[in-house]
C-alpha cells in the first residue's frame, strides 16, 4: 500500500512538472526552465547560501543568497527603519538646481509636484486643447503645402518641430516657429547635439576618464553657442514670469509655478534658477515623448497598409471635413483608440529611468546591498 502511494505521488509530481515546463500558459515567457517548476525553491534547504552577482552602473557587487522568514514578497530593510529609494545625482549637470523631474530630494520634489499637478487636471488640459489644435492644424497645412514634393519630406524633422513648438508654448508660452519656418533653430539644435555628450558626463560620475571625451562629440559651432542659447532661454523664462505675467494668450505651466501672492521681481537668483530648470524639464518632457510617438504612428501606418486603410475608412465615415475633427469626436472612434494604444504599447517612448540608491533590503530570497 505504501509503495503504491509513493508511486502515485511520484507520478503526480512528474505530471505536474511536465505541465509546468511545457504546457503552462507562461512557458512562452523568457527565463530559466528551472524556475518554471515552482517547487524547486522550497526544496532547497533554508540554510543554503550561494554567491550571486548584482549589476549596477559602476560595476558589480557580490552578495549572498539567503531566505527571508517572511515568505514570498517579504521586504526587510537592513537598517532599523525602512528608507526610501531616492534618486541618484545622475542628472546633476551643475546648474545649481535639479528642478522637478531630476530632483532627488523627496521633500523638494513633493513641494514642486504640489504646484505642477493641477496643470494636468481635466479642466486644465481642456484649456490647452486650442493650443494643441493650432499646432496640429499648422502641421497639416504644411503637409498639404509641401507633401507633394518629388523628393518628399524628412518626417523626423517635421514631427520634431511639431513637438518642440507645442511643448515650448505649453510650458512657458515661448513661440519657437520651427513649423512655420521649416528649420531647426539654435535652442533645439543645442539640446539635440549635447544629448550624447550629456550621457558621457553622466557616465563620468562612475568613470571620470570618460568625461574628458564629452567635448569631442560636440561641434565647435555648438560649443560656441551654448552659453548664448542658455542665456537666451533664461531671459525667455524671466520675461514670461515677470513681463508676461497675466498677459499670455493661453494658460501654461508657469501659471502654476508662481502663486498670485508671489512677486517674481523680488525672487532670489536661486529661486529663478529653480524655475528655469522646471521650465526646461517640462519643455523636454513635453516634446520628446510626443515627437517619438508621432513618428511611431507614421511608421506603423506606412508599414501596415491594411491598418492604414481601416483607419482612413473610419475617419472618413465619421467626418465630412477636416474642420469637423475635434478631440471629443475622436474619442468616439474605437479603431482610432485601439491604434493609438497599440502604438504606445509596441513602440516604447522611453526605456530608461532615473536610477535609485538602494537602502539595502532583502526581497524574497535576494539580499540587495546598500548603494547603487
pLDDT tens across 293-338, in order? 999 999 999 999 999 999 999 999 999 999 999 888 999 999 999 9
Beta carbons within 10 angstroms of residue 29's beta carbon: 8
- Residue 222 C-alpha cell reads as 555648438
Residue 356 · residue 91 · CB < 8 Å: no
Rounded Cα distance, 201 and 203, in Å? 5
**Number of CB atoms found within 10 A of residue 103's CB:** 25
- Please give the pLDDT value at position 108: 87
Q: Does 279 fall in a domain?
A: yes
Give the pLDDT score at 25.
Answer: 72
Low-confidence ranges of the chain (pLDDT < 70): 1-6, 9, 29-85, 90, 92-95, 350-354, 361-368, 371-372
According to the model, what pLDDT value does residue 365 have? 65
Q: Is residue 80 part of a domain?
A: no
- The verdict on residue 336 lying in a domain is no
Q: Helical H runs in 194-261?
A: 195-203, 208-211, 220-241, 254-257
Number of domains in the chain: 1
Domain containing 207: what range?
A: 106-284
Indicate whether 142 belongs to any domain.
yes
Q: What pLDDT shows up at residue 371? A: 66
Compute the distance between CA of residue 127 and CA of residue 150 in angstroms, rounded to an integer.
Answer: 39
The verdict on residue 129 lying in a domain is yes
Structural domain includes residue 63: no
In a domain, 302, yes or no: no
- What pLDDT score does 192 carry? 84
| Residue tagged 539640446 (cell numbers) | 191
What is the pLDDT, as a whole number, of residue 30?
A: 65
Length of the chain: 372
Question: Which is it for the CA torsion 21, 27, 28, 34, positive or negative?
Answer: negative
For residue 293, being part of any structural domain is answered with no
Q: Name residue, grid cell 535576494.
A: 366
What gap in Å lies between CA 368 and CA 357, rounded to an integer? 11
pLDDT at 15: 80
Amino acid at each position: 500500500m505504501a509503495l503504491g502511494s509513493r508511486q502515485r505521488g511520484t507520478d503526480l509530481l512528474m505530471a505536474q512538472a511536465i505541465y509546468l515546463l511545457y504546457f503552462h500558459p507562461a512557458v512562452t515567457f523568457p527565463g530559466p526552465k528551472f524556475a518554471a517548476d515552482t517547487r524547486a525553491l522550497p526544496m532547497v534547504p533554508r540554510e543554503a547560501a550561494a554567491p550571486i552577482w548584482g549589476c549596477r552602473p559602476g560595476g558589480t557587487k557580490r552578495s549572498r543568497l539567503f531566505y527571508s522568514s517572511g515568505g514570498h514578497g517579504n521586504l526587510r530593510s537592513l537598517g532599523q527603519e525602512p528608507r526610501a529609494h531616492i534618486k541618484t545625482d545622475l542628472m546633476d549637470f551643475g546648474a545649481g538646481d535639479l528642478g522637478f523631474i531630476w530632483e532627488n530630494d523627496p521633500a523638494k520634489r513633493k513641494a514642486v509636484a504640489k504646484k505642477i499637478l493641477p496643470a494636468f487636471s481635466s479642466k486644465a488640459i481642456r484649456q490647452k486643447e486650442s493650443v494643441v489644435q493650432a499646432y496640429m492644424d499648422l502641421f497639416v497645412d504644411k503637409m498639404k503645402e509641401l507633401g507633394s514634393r518629388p523628393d518628399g519630406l524628412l518626417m523626423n524633422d517635421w514631427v520634431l518641430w511639431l513637438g518642440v513648438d507645442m511643448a515650448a508654448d505649453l510650458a512657458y508660452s515661448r513661440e519657437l516657429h520651427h513649423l512655420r519656418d521649416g528649420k531647426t533653430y539654435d535652442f533645439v539644435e543645442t539640446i539635440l547635439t549635447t544629448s550624447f555628450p550629456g550621457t558621457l558626463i553622466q557616465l563620468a560620475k562612475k568613470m571620470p576618464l570618460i568625461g574628458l571625451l564629452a567635448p569631442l562629440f560636440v561641434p565647435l559651432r555648438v560649443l560656441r553657442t551654448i552659453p548664448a542659447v542658455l542665456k537666451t532661454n533664461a531671459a525667455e523664462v524671466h520675461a514670461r514670469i515677470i513681463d508676461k505675467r497675466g498677459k499670455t494668450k493661453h494658460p501654461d505651466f508657469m501659471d502654476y509655478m508662481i502663486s498670485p501672492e508671489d512677486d517674481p521681481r523680488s525672487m532670489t537668483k536661486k529661486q529663478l534658477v529653480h524655475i528655469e530648470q522646471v521650465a526646461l524639464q517640462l519643455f523636454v518632457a513635453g516634446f520628446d515623448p510626443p515627437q517619438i510617438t508621432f513618428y511611431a504612428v507614421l511608421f506603423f501606418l506606412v508599414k501596415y497598409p491594411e491598418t492604414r486603410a481601416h483607419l482612413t475608412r473610419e475617419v472618413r465615415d465619421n467626418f465630412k471635413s477636416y474642420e469637423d475633427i475635434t478631440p471629443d469626436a475622436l474619442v468616439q472612434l474605437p479603431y482610432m483608440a485601439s491604434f493609438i494604444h497599440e502604438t504606445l504599447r509596441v513602440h516604447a517612448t522611453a526605456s530608461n529611468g532615473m536610477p535609485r540608491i538602494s537602502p539595502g533590503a532583502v526581497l524574497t530570497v535576494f539580499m540587495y546591498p546598500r548603494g547603487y
